Structure 1
Amino acid sequence: MLFSSLLFIFQFLPIFFVLYYFAPVRFRNLLLFLASLFFYAWGEPRFVILILVSILINYLAGYFIQRYDRNEKIRITVLVLSIIYNVGSLTFFKYSNFIIENINYIFNGTIRPVNIPLPLGISFYTFQIMSYTIDVYRRDTKAEKSFINLGAYLCMFPQLIAGPIVVYTQVSEKLHKRSYDLKEIEKGLQIFILGLGSKVLIANNVGGLWNDMAQIGYAKLSMPLAWLGLLSYSLQIYFDFNGYSLMAIGLGKMLGFDFPQNFNFPYISKSVSEYWKRWHITLSTWFKDYLYIPLGGNRKGKLRTFLNMFIVWSVTGLWHGASWNFVFWGIYFFVLLSLEKLFLKKWLEKNIILSRIYTILAILLGWMIFAITELKDIGIYFGRLFSLNITNDWVYYLRNYGIVLAIGILLSTPFLKKWYDRQENKVLCNLLLLLIFLLSIAYLVDAAYNPFLYFRF
């Protein structure tokens, strides 16, 4: 069930919120837990048991880690076993065929691929539940006594499938006690509508241009059209994922939770280092807190620092997908971040205009590696970007997509947000939101193209 679907907006949400707000406070987590399982089962009924098993194993892990607080051997054993289960489950469902393909390639083997569908959201909810057991082990939080509360945390439908990645310590207090303010509910609804508009009106429309690139054939693209296609994908994935995150944050507010910000206008960055402080913030934070720092961070010398960075960015790439292009995408950013750490960052700080040009080019080329699965196709597309083959094929696509591209570029900056935040005329703002909502619904009524790109991760 997609957030940007008529079924979710006009059936699931109204029924759920009527039940939720009128339910006694002590039953609201149970209702949220059951509704979230229903939400997930609508698209993946066979994998509901997988989530329940994950909750049970990590619930027991947290219990035993805290129960044997003075026995470090038991604590570390339980933690390691829970991590083995969590990472093993993710590896089995997401990376089995990737591992088989590489074994066959290296050893000229004939192992048959396995027919294992990828459970929705497994990369996201696995990281979330791992943060819980790790934080209990670190004594950063108490183990959750209620299975229902832990289930509500992990399965909470606003962020179950595609984030933001919410660690347990960020919501534990409100899992046990939260208040409901009409202003917060209204604010949550406004954020949801802005996310819906981002996803439906911009991402869905601009994404058509990138799809056209593959249909034309990368080898046939002129240089201007290749860059135009890459720009369209960059806008599509931003407004697609940021739109989903905004909808999740808005729904969270309506439930009484404050989910962390996931995007902060990443395309205005002046370096790749800054970009990764603005893009998918919750994922970057998770890797920093639960992988980079435990590996030693930057505390054990330069060589170890770069090794830790290499590990983190290789895993970051692999987290996004079971394909070598994702691994190379992660390594690509490791190289750029390493160069910035060594010397480039100081130069960029002195050249504001060049720093923005460099960052945008770095991001665009990164999305090329990310979006194209076959390595040979990446080489072809890269060649077209610098082919000096300038024909007028791009004019047709600019005519068709120019307006939505311009709107997307404008909304990628904080200019309109600052204007919106300054407005004292709330009637005007509400009318604008109503227009965005109605246009989004009109699009959904008639549209057949409505993907969420990050669902496949």
Structure 2
Amino acid sequence: MNYFEGNEFFLFLLAVLIIGFIINYFEKNKEYFIIFVSLFLVGNIYGKSITMLLYLMLFLIFQYSLIVFSQKTTKACQTILVGLSVVPLILNKLFALTQFHFMAFIGISYMSFKTIQIMLEISDGLIKEKINLKDYLQFLLFFPSVSSGPIDRSSRFLEDIKSSMTRKDYLELAGTGVFRLVLGMFYKIVLSTYVYQFLFSLTNTGTIVYSIKYMYLYTLYLFFDFAGYSLMAVGTSNILGVQTPMNFNAPFLSVDIKDFWTRWHITLSTWLRDFVFSRVLMRAIKKQLFKKRLHNAVYAYIVNMLVMGFWHGISVSYILYGFYHGVLMAAFEIYQKKSSFYKKNKNKNWYKLLSWFVTMNLVVIGFFIFSGEPYKLLKVILRK
């Protein structure tokens, strides 16, 4: 069994959603039922590998200890503890380059960002109430989003999980949830599989035509696969009475690169905006790293997107992908602020259409870099 894969999981999910529907319909407390299901799935899925289960347990104990200490210590110590909370993820990415995959378990990237969010908000004074072990495990191991997001915020999630909706509001949310779940299954099981067959059938000829076909097909495959999973996660959450945030909002309608990152992997981009970009920018301004605010913003965009690249993994393709989008975001920031042409034409339909066309092709090139295919392509060209 694995999350949102195979007949066994979906049959189990059906039973869970029926029980969850009954609990919410009668406006009963749902948190103990959900944590029981989440822990049951942890036992079944992570328990297939004793090593993976031990790594998960070690991670949970280590991070919860940091949270407990952080709520009892000074601001200076909290900063150190925030740094320590990043260590498991860094070790996981570093050891992924070797044959010894230390701290390798399903969902470590998403769980790490959830824990870092808690630590940073404790340090900022936004979280003052004690986070008990049950709430911590509920948040990190919430089964619809544990392996691939969306990345929720602890305060919002815990408020949802502890409250009961009126029957009318719940039925509306559950109806939306069923639609999202079915649409997500169609995206992931049907459309992503269909596109992947075309992608898999391509032969690397080392030509521009091959590259164009690959980058567009890969972009479609990535969207249907990831957006499909996200929709299933959100739809499942909704039926259970939890309003997990959406992760995609028609990204292929984006008219510029900033617009794209408000539509694609929304929970990741907003997490990075709140906890990386804004902090890097304010620190750069405070330290007067650059004389002009625009230059500080450019610097913050590049750092922000490089963190996004490293979050995916320490490989050339991921790091270049992050740097590529950092440069695009920085360049667009300069263009927005400095270009009279942009200010004069940004609201005109012809400009929006042209900007959309350019943006989509830049996005597709980015996913081509992300896929790692350019390096395979280079090898084929060098053999000729």
TM over 0.5: yes
Q: 1:19 to 1:201 in 2, by over 3 A?
A: closer
1:8 alignment partner in structure 2:
9
1:246 alignment partner in structure 2:
231
1:201 alignment partner in structure 2:
190
CA–CA distance in 2 between the matches of 1:170 and 1:30? 18
Q: Which amino acid aligns with 2:358?
A: Y
1:206-217 correspondence runs (5 A): 206-213=195-202, 216-217=203-204
Matching of residue 259 in structure 1 with residue 248 in structure 2: no
CA–CA distance in 2 between the matches of 1:37 and 1:294? 35
1:39-438 correspondence runs (5 A): 39-45=41-47, 46=50, 47-68=52-73, 74-84=74-84, 86-98=85-97, 113-116=99-102, 118-179=104-165, 181-213=170-202, 216-219=203-206, 221=207, 223-297=208-282, 300=285, 301-343=293-335, 347=342, 349=346, 351-372=351-372, 376-377=375-376, 379=378
Structure 1 residue 87 displacement after superposition? 1.5
Q: Which amino acid aligns with 2:188?
A: K
Q: 1:309 to 1:63 in 2, by over 3 A?
A: same
Structure with bigger RCO (C-alpha 8 Å, 6+ apart)? 1
Asked if structure 1 preserves the Cα contact closer than 8 Å seen for 2:91 and 2:103, the reply is no
1:251-300 deviations in Å (ceiling 9; x for gaps): 11112111112111111111111111111111011111111111225972
Structure 2 SS opposite 1:38: helix
2:38 alignment partner in structure 1:
36
Which runs of 5 or more structure 2 residues have no equivalent in the other structure? 286-292
Structure 1 residue 49 displacement after superposition? 4.0
Q: Which amino acid aligns with 1:188?
A: G
Deviates more, 1:181-190 or 1:342-351: 342-351
Q: 1:76 to 1:21 in 2, by over 3 A?
A: farther
1:420 alignment partner in structure 2:
none
CA–CA distance in 2 between the matches of 1:138 and 1:331? 29
Q: 1:133 to 1:382 in 2, by over 3 A?
A: farther
Structure 1 residue 25 displacement after superposition? 8.6
Asked if structure 1 preserves the Cα contact closer than 8 Å seen for 2:17 and 2:239, the reply is no
1:204-225 deviations in Å (ceiling 9; x for gaps): 1101222223xx2242x5x444
Structure 1 residue 307 displacement after superposition? 2.0
Asked if structure 1 preserves the Cα contact closer than 8 Å seen for 2:176 and 2:235, the reply is yes
- Alpha-carbon RMSD: 2.9
1:58-109 deviations in Å (ceiling 9; x for gaps): 44444444445xxxxx34314522531x3211122222253x7xxxxxxxxx
Asked if structure 2 preserves the Cα contact closer than 8 Å seen for 1:231 and 1:364, the reply is yes
CA–CA distance in 1 between the matches of 2:66 and 2:11? 39
CA–CA distance in 1 between the matches of 2:381 and 2:321? 14
Structure 1 residue 117 displacement after superposition? 7.2
Scaled by the length of structure 2, what TM-score is found? 0.83
Q: 1:382 to 1:317 in 2, by over 3 A?
A: farther
Structure 1 residue 34 displacement after superposition? 3.3
Structure 1 residue 328 displacement after superposition? 0.6
1:172-198 deviations in Å (ceiling 9; x for gaps): 212322326233223212211111111
Structure 1 residue 11 displacement after superposition? 2.5
CA–CA distance in 1 between the matches of 2:378 and 2:325? 18
Q: 1:207 to 1:136 in 2, by over 3 A?
A: same
Structure 1 residue 16 displacement after superposition? 6.5
Q: 1:119 to 1:232 in 2, by over 3 A?
A: same
1:443 alignment partner in structure 2:
none
Which runs of 5 or more structure 1 residues have no equivalent in the other structure? 69-73, 101-112, 384-457
Q: Which amino acid aligns with 2:204?
A: G
Q: 1:380 to 1:353 in 2, by over 3 A?
A: farther
Asked if structure 2 preserves the Cα contact closer than 8 Å seen for 1:326 and 1:370, the reply is yes
Structure 2 SS opposite 1:296: helix
Scaled by the length of structure 1, what TM-score is found? 0.71
- Percent of aligned positions with the same letter in both sequences? 22
Structure 1 residue 31 displacement after superposition? 3.4
1:345-367 deviations in Å (ceiling 9; x for gaps): 75372522321221111011111
